[in-house]
Structure 1
Amino acid sequence: MTAPITLTDLDGMGVSRLQGVGPKKLKGLEVLGISSLLDLLTHYPRRYVDRTREAQIASAGLGVEVLILGEVASVSARRTRNGKVMVVADIRDSTGTLRCTFFNQAWREHQLGGGQVGELAIFGKIEMFNGKRQMTNPVVDLVGTRTGKIVSVYPLSEKSGLSTWDVGDWVAQVLRRCAGRGIADPVPANVLQSLGLMDRQSAFAGIHAPDSMAHMVSSRNRLVFDELLRLQLSLVQRQRDLERNSIGIVQEIGATSGPAPGLVRSFLEALPYSLTSAQQRAIAEINTDLARPIPMHRLLQGDVGSGKTVVAVNTLLTAVQGGHQGALMAPTEVLAEQHGTSVRALIGEMTIDAPDTLLGTRPLSVGLLTNRTRAAQRRAVLAGLADGTLDILIGTHALIQEGVQFHSLGVVVIDEQHRFGVEQRAALRSANADFTIPDVLVMTATPIPRTAAMTVYGDLDVTVLDELPPGRTPIETSWVAGQAEEEQAWQLVRSQVSAGHQTYVVCPLIEESEKLEVASAQETLERLSANELSGLRLGLLHGRMASDDKQAVMDQFRAAELDVLIATTVIEVGVDVPNATVMVILDADRFGIAQLHQLRGRVGRGGARGFCVLVATSELTTDAQARLEAMVRTTDGFELAEVDLDLRGEGTVMGERQKGRNDLQLASLRRDRDWVEKARAVAIEIVGDGTGLEQHPLLGSELALVLDDEDREFLHKS
């Protein structure tokens, strides 16, 4: 018996073998990125015309969206007084005529006036104009002579010269030719049964030519699951491979012997506050990893101000306690220097055993290494790293430059991982001469929706800090939309400065040009110092300043020598000045939710109440309005992350992983949250201890087909 056709088989067959695909049509398919039968089969419909929802022109309700099926009676085009093209088409069915007007769509005249158009599907709202029924800029699909209750409409480009029925006919041809042998289904039957999913061949048939919309949804569910399962199998397999093939370091948890017995316990006991239950849970999860011989690979996800630094220091000290070193890598010099200040303050006067010294102990040593580190200081840091007398090193990517050699790197903490390249992260993992791999803790203050975390960071175990330490009161957020309200905002700034506090003013984001953004910041400084905030001490911070100048301004602000810091988004992550209580964000509608939330987190970090003022006085898009309303409604970063996913889709969440998403044709992290979780659970079960895919060779070959090595590198964030 002939084996069923696999996706690899279909990928190896060109579309030129199909009837009706000559040289001209072949070029059209190439324009759409379709060269193989697999490409064609996974070129899914973008929408469907459901004839069961058809309305009649004469009786369709006004002001509600309706579907009209009809034919073109006439088409004409003319220019309006402002020089724009207006195309007018009269569409008729058996009950009457509907006038459709298209503005700025000159191509509609050619589309609708070809003579061989056949039946049209028109979707939009009917209104009365001069006693006639009409629609403005409706959605139009050419149905042609296609019958059936549900008609599939494919994504096309005018340049391809293809029609939706061309694609539909070729897809039907592929499915007919596959029917004899069948399409191979690599997902175990028990998995399909437990999830209520149909077989793959039925799913392909059902998504291209469904009997009903319910049938389409069931077919889509199966194909979405396949895409997500391939993605998760790749991530889980990577995680198991790391575990099986890496030599880890068994850290001394609660050590009573070794170079620094009881170091972690002393650190926790000396803290002037109690840990939150979320911090305690995070430390317990991390400790479990550290005690294993397998290298830790964990994501610590915590909202702004949730206490990630204490958890990170606890992890670094665990390495030192066992005679190893810790490294903390931050994305910017400002953040690295701030981490240095915070870590030194937390560690205080801690000492560790040093039998070869006069006193038998020495201070626990923390070093800083950035591109600003002076030559003599750099030499001292490198010497301490090499001989093991430097316990914790904090820095930027300078940590992985040539010449930086650790004595024994036990733990690496990487802050805001999405800002680093794959090579930079890999370099820290391979820092030890004896080939042991340090435990890695990745931190992010950018809340990521649960399903996105499973996909973006799918090869990491995830720990969430979902509780604010006591004493941190939620920040009061307001949205300023008019001149009078804006004046009140500047009055709030003055009153907070009078009370001894400080303010940030963030200038509009100008993505087209950093130069323009700097000019905007300087202009804002001049305007505010001359008008609304005259008499106050104002400073300026932006991305094009030299490192030393940036540091000098930040030092002034920290020392309360400045009342107001006017800045670009250079202060978005990590800047910590407890005395700052007001954050004013100008043209807030230009920022995404994640940025707004990060900026808001810069204030209210001391005991005093914090305020965030979102200034957006121009006309807003619906999405911008929804973003600002969400910011005013909640300070919960995880809730905001879900709102962001709903508003903007997964593209923004995936960040650098965009390039590695060629397999997600149908699946959406926004629409398919449940399926992400189900696919993850099945992947973990199939991969097992890391050898499970050997029992499923078809699944393995599909991974190789849809995820090339470069895509996997993006996926794995190794």
Structure 2
Amino acid sequence: MTEQTLVSFEASGLSTYLGDKNATALEKAFGYTTVGELLWHFPRRYVEVGELTPIAELPFDEHVTVVAQVVNVSQRQMHSRRGFIYEVTVSDELSSGGQELKMTFFNGYQARTDLTVGTIAMFSGKVGWYQDHLQLSQPDYAVLDEASQADPRPIPIYPASAKMPNKRIRDLIGLLLPHVTEENLPEFLPSDLLGSNHYPQRFQAYLQRHAPREVKHAYVARQRFAYEEAFVLQLTLAERSRQLGAQHAVARPRQSGKLADKFEAQLPFTLTEDQLQVGDQLASDLSQPHPMHRLLQGEVGSGKTIVALRAILQVIDGGGQAALLAPTEVLAAQHFASITKMLGGLADPGLFGEGEGAGVALLTGSAKTAQRRQALLGIASGEIGLIIGTHALLSDQVQFAELGLVVVDEQHRFGVEQRDALRAKSGDAVPHTLVMTATPIPRTVAMTVFGDLDTSTIKRLPAGRAPIQTHIVPMQLTSFRERLFSKITEEVSQGHQVYVVCPRITDTAAEQGVLLSTYEESSGQTMSVEAMMELLAGMPSFANVRVEALHSQLDSEDKQDVMDSFAGGNIDVLVSTTVIEVGVDVHNATLMVIMDAERFGISQLHQLRGRVGRGGLQGTCLMTTWLDADHPSVGRLKTIESTMDGFELAEADLAERREGNILGAQQSGSRSALKELSIIKDRKLIEQARANVEALMNVSEWQNKYPELLKMAGSWVDESSQEFLNKN
């Protein structure tokens, strides 16, 4: 059977098999328009007869399943809003005691049709209490005919909505299942992989997932589809990597006695073993005639910038230019300041001029006209070897003499179009690409999302950096509140600086105008930058403390002025939002206070914590919360408190977030959102799929042997996900 058959069935409009009315209802409920999308609407669980609970033994507030016969029905209008309530009284089919139970359905049009007196059905829902008796409100149900009563199969329970209840979903999918045949859904995975894993054929897996004879069959089908997703995704990434490797780049081998060597000779410290090892990897990549595509990840303060700078100088020594793309003007300015300081005299222009310097320039959207003109001329002439900037680098006005390396900081903050626009400025040869991130990436995420990039990791911090002391501050206790603010003034009195991070900029409309004269008045409110500034202004102990605010609503020039003042030691306490999460590097900052810390994610808290203790001084992070110690959200704070290992925290963050749509923006009904594959639960399966793909890529002319597999990999992800996978 050809690939055309596979496309024609799964890509068919739902109206072809379900009619226009049902197709329209499914599109309104879930956004589905094709057969394939509906087939991938898999059950979230199954109800088995073995799970049944007699009505007389129903536990309150728990999820139960009962088989019962309808003995009475009634309908009444709702008082508070339009619509009606359909009430069904059922009698237990498992017990001869005649126990009864009431069910309520709000606007239960479908239930009114299905559940008439004498009907036997399986009901599933949470046991509630209403008017002195137990009831199930809006339960899932499945009508049992004589055949299903004699041979009851597991009942699939689907993700449903008020207008598209489970019963209707089961009926509509039931109309599709007779068309689920090997002819309509041919297999595209290699047969040896199916056989070694004991996976069913594709059409069989669909049948077992939607209408299993036993739940274990549905589980096997689920594994098959999860493996299918992992395999096709890994194949897509591998094919992308192969195509990238076939492109041409200018080789920039290491040259002795030039800028890179001079830079290392003037370093006042010794590079760590990790920095040297990663540096060797980059040097080797840059020496090849095909483009480097490497991800460099490392803890905050691990020295990624120095490693990247060594690679940049190697490219400049080889006659090329480098562009460092930062997500914000604050971060771009920080990079410019730190890199020019590290280079010293080597930062002076001179790539094609008389001098021997690298030539470093900063270009941002807020750059003044004269500064911008000078930078543009230097880039075009080749006098500037390293240009650091934001999206302003993507402007048509920016023309490079010979762009040899693109360094992208905090990769996830840029769109593919932006990176491609920068690459397009390099002419015929493709520039080398280095992606940096300070957010540790769990191994399975790196394999699944960054599978087409080689990965380097710096795990060890440079010598002399003490671990940051981290503590939770329970704000319900007066003594802890008082100690928090006295700790801030103590650090300032010792000549140090402090960050105070708040979850939001301003108060809500209801809270505006309410002056917080004491911190107790803020209990239950989320602290804002605005409220914190008011609070500190009213505290006598802060009368001589220089406090300023920083947030995204300030214009670019004001933000830069505040950051320059803080970096220059002219501000003692910076009250900020998470705008300082990435890249702000002030060595004199020793204390990070995070207000309402439960409002932030694990990785975000770890990034914020890394802003202090960067200059050899002991760093402290205080995370405040009004929540009780046993609140689930406080567990996240305890995780941060217990470890400085960013990779361990990344795993915890991933488990907490349940990974979401790792391929990019969620689109309703899109196959790009992984349906079955979980990068938390399916780690071994992902590793297995990756190994299988690597073996396949070594098979001679595998594309000719498995043409349908290659086509499926090309069509598996939608356009937005293809762009997301296009990392360079």
Q: TM-score range by the shorter chain?
A: 0.7 to 0.9
CA distance in 1, matches of 2:351, 2:300: 42
**Which residue among 438, 441, 447 is the counterpart of 2:434?**
441
Larger deviation, residues 556-565 vs 380-389: 380-389
The 2-side partners of 1:658 and 1:461 are apart by: 29
1:276-302 C-alpha deviation (Å, 9 max, x unpaired): 332223222222211111101111111
Larger displacement relative to structure 2 (163-172 or 511-520): 511-520
Give the match for residue 122 of structure 1. 124
The structural deviation recorded for 1:362 is 3.1
| Match of residue 501 from structure 2 | 506
Q: Write out per-residue CA displacement over residues 102-143 of structure 1, whole angstroms, 9 at most, x where no aligned residue.
A: 8xx84469747963474133244689997x6x4676863435
Mark the CA change 1:23 to 1:576 in structure 2 (over 3 Å): closer, same or farther.
closer
Determine the C-alpha separation between the residues in 1 that align with 2:84 and 2:505.
Answer: 32
Q: Look up the match of 2:492.
A: 497
User: Are residues 1:58 and 2:56 paired?
Assistant: yes
What stretches of structure 2 of length at least 5 have no aligned partner? 513-524
Q: Cα–Cα, structure 1 residues 366 and 149, in superposed 2: closer, same or farther, change >3 Å? A: same
2:451 to 445, 452, 458: 458
Q: For 1:177-204, what per-residue CA distance to the aligned partner results, in whole angstroms no more than 9, with x for missing partners?
A: x15x474211112223344433323322
Q: Secondary structure at the match of 1:647?
A: helix
Are 1:10 and 2:32 matched, yes or no? no
| In 1, Cα distance between equivalents of 2:83 and 2:645 | 46
Aligned-partner Cα distance in 2 for 1:656–1:156:
22
| Aligned-residue identity in percent | 37
Matches within 5 A, 1:611-626: 611-617=620-626, 624-626=633-635
> Corresponding residue for 1:420?
414
Residues 377/277 of structure 1: CA separation in 2 closer, same or farther (3 Å cut): same
1:396 maps to which residue? Answer: 390
Aligned residues: 699
User: Does the aligned pair in 1 maintain the 2:39–2:173 contact within 8 Å?
Assistant: no
1:662 correspondence with 2:672: yes
Residue 28 to residue 400, structure 1, CA distance change in 2 (3 Å): closer
Code of the residue aligned with 1:42 in structure 2: it is: W
DSSP 3-state at the match of 2:361: strand
- Answer yes or no: is the 8 Å Cα contact 2:352–2:383 preserved in 1: no
Q: How does 1:614-693 map to 2 (within 5 A)?
A: 614-617=623-626, 624-651=633-660, 654-656=663-665, 662=672, 664-687=674-697, 692-693=702-703
Q: Distance in 2 between the 1:224 and 1:143 partners?
A: 31
Conserved 8 A contact 2:567-2:586 = yes
The yes-or-no answer on 1:531 pairing with 2:542 is: no
Q: Residues 313 and 358 of structure 2 are in contact (CA less than 8 Å); yes or no, is this contact kept in structure 1?
A: no
- How much does 1:344 deviate? 1.4
Is 2:154 the partner of 1:150?
A: yes
1:236 paired with 2:274, answer no
685 and 429 in structure 1: CA distance in 2 versus 1, 3 angstrom threshold: farther
Match of 1:554 among 550, 563, 570: 563
1:490/1:532 contact within 8 Å kept = no
Question: Is contact 1:479-1:628 (8 Å) kept?
Answer: yes
In structure 2, do the counterparts of structure 1 residues 385 and 475 end up closer, same or farther at CA, with 3 Å as the change threshold? same
Code of the aligned partner of 1:216: A
Matches within 5 A, 1:148-547: 148-160=152-164, 163-175=168-180, 178=181, 181=183, 183-244=185-246, 246-253=247-254, 255-256=255-256, 261-350=257-346, 361-433=355-427, 435-483=428-476, 484=478, 485-509=480-504, 520-531=528-539, 534-535=542-543, 536-547=545-556
Output the CA distance in 1 between the equivalents of 2:506 and 2:8. Answer: 45
C-alpha change, 1:663 and 1:591, in structure 2 (3 Å) is closer
State the alpha-carbon separation in 2 of the partners of residues 265 and 139 from structure 1.
Answer: 72
Asked if 1 retains the 8 angstrom alpha-carbon contact of 2:38 and 2:173, the reply is no
Distance 1:281 1:641 in 2: 23
**What SS does the aligned partner of 1:298 have?**
strand
Q: 1:68 is matched with which residue: 53, 66, 69?
A: 66
Query: What TM-score does the superposition give when structure 1 sets the normalisation length?
Result: 0.87
Q: Matched residue of 2:245: which SS?
A: helix
1:236-270 CA distances to partner (integer Å, 9 max, x unpaired)?
222211221x22121122x23xxxx3432333343
Tell me if the contact between 1:452 and 1:654 (Cα under 8 Å) persists in the aligned partners. Answer: no
> In the superposition, relative to structure 1, how do residues 583 and 598 fare at CA in structure 2: closer, same or farther (>3 Å)?
same
Normalised by the length of structure 2, the TM-score is 0.86
Distance 1:23 1:656 in 2: 29
Q: What secondary structure sits across from 1:650 in the alignment?
A: coil
Letter in 2 for 1:401: S
1:713 and 1:300 mapped to 2: Cα distance? 21
Structure 1 unmatched ranges of 5 or more: none
Q: The residue matched to 1:505 in structure 2 has which SS?
A: strand
Amino acid at match of 1:154: Y
Structure 1: distance between partners of 2:21 and 2:9? 22
Call closer, same or farther: CA 1:469–1:33 in 2, change over 3 Å. Answer: same
- For the residues of structure 1 that align with 2:425 and 2:701, how far apart are their CA atoms? 28
C-alpha separation in 2, matches of 1:374 and 1:76 = 72
Per the TM alignment, residue 415 of structure 1 is displaced from its structure 2 partner at its CA by: 0.5
Cα distance in 1, alignment partners of residues 80 and 626 from structure 2: 31
Distance 1:39 1:248 in 2: 41
Give the counterpart letter for 2:650 in structure 1: A
